[in-house]
Structure 1
Amino acid sequence: MGMSMGGAAGGGGRRRHQRGAVMAEINVTPMVDVMLVLLIIFMVSAPLLTVGVPLDLPQTAAKSLDQDKEPLTLSVQVSGKIFLNNTEITTDELIPKLKAITEARGGTEERIFVRGDTKADYGTIMKVMGRLSSAGFKRVALVTEVEQGG
């Protein structure tokens, strides 16, 4: 009878000091959840960041140009207003501001994109392009949207 009690007491002591094995695996589920939430946030907010001056651009089948840095964009609205990137300027301010910006960026070899609304006055767009050409800006490009369908 004494032996049976000693065996029971010894078995209880061993169980009390045993611990589970250390887990060396990383739980990536919370990280994946955070990444998916960030992906959704950026997918929703990205189109909102690219909105500039609202224009109804003409559509063509031309390919887009590859560009390293943010381009200089001139926009001509239906009302005849001219915007340099998102800032409204007059035709008299156009060349001095562009020269100041391109000198700060490294010279007149800067590409300038001209965006004109489909209903904008053709003469206004040509006046802007003529001033750019006469000021020495040789890399001027017209911006269109990709043609849908056919």
Structure 2
Amino acid sequence: MAFGRLESRKPDAPMSEINVTPMVDVMLVLLVIFILTAPLMTSAIRLDLPQSEGGEAGASPQVLSLVVDAQSNLYLNDKPITPDALRLRLAESAKRNPHTELELRADQSVPYGRVVEAMGLAQKAGLSRIGFVAQTTPALTR
């Protein structure tokens, strides 16, 4: 090393590998967001469903969802509906496909008579396949 002169060395070669760590981090964050939000998107109407020990219902090709919330309001496929309009829509569905299944979700605080009225509307319209939706309780350990 000479006086006043700096040591010269070769410059580093450019890096040829792609750094995928930031991309993986972003993808994992998106995955966590989707995992957390997916259960919230199943139904927009908040209900306190009664619990039962039955199993999960199988999927049916033609299904209508009828909800009776805690204030006894009716919703068909998550859209508010009046009893008269419900009667017409159910009759129309029964005419198109008599094997259409009606999933009846009712808050456990709804009076039994209101649930029976909703069932009667469906049966008068010609729908005989009515399924009741309830939350399952965890199995009791013995």
The answer on 1:81 being equivalent to 2:73 is yes
- Percent pairwise identity: 36
Question: Which amino acid is 2:133 matched to?
Answer: V
CA contact (8 A) 1:99 1:108 kept: no
**TM-score after normalising by structure 1:** 0.70
**TM-score after normalising by structure 2:** 0.74
Residue 30 of structure 1 deviates from its aligned partner by 4.0
CA contact (8 A) 1:78 1:121 kept: no
Residue 78 of structure 1 deviates from its aligned partner by 2.6
CA contact (8 A) 2:105 2:132 kept: yes
Question: Which amino acid is 1:112 matched to?
Answer: L
d(CA) in 2 for partners of 1:113, 1:147? 19
Structure number with higher helix proportion: 1
Of 37, 41, 45, 1:53 maps to: 45
Classify 1:125/1:66 alpha carbon distance in 2 versus 1 (closer, same or farther; 3 Å).
same
Q: 5 Å matches for 1:1-150?
A: 28-67=20-59, 71-100=63-92, 107-148=97-138, 150=140
d(CA) in 1 for partners of 2:86, 2:48? 22
Specify every segment of 5 or more residues in structure 2 that has no aligned partner in the other structure, as ranges. 1-9
Which is higher, the Rg of structure 1 or of structure 2? 1
Q: For residues 67-89 of structure 1, what are the alpha-carbon distances to aligned partners after superposition, in whole Å with 9 as ceiling and x for unaligned?
A: 26684211112322111122111
SS of corresponding position for 2:38: helix
Specify every segment of 5 or more residues in structure 1 that has no aligned partner in the other structure, as ranges. 1-15
Q: For residues 51-107 of structure 1, what are the alpha-carbon distances to aligned partners after superposition, in whole Å with 9 as ceiling and x for unaligned?
A: 32222111001111232668421111232211112211121111212344566xx62
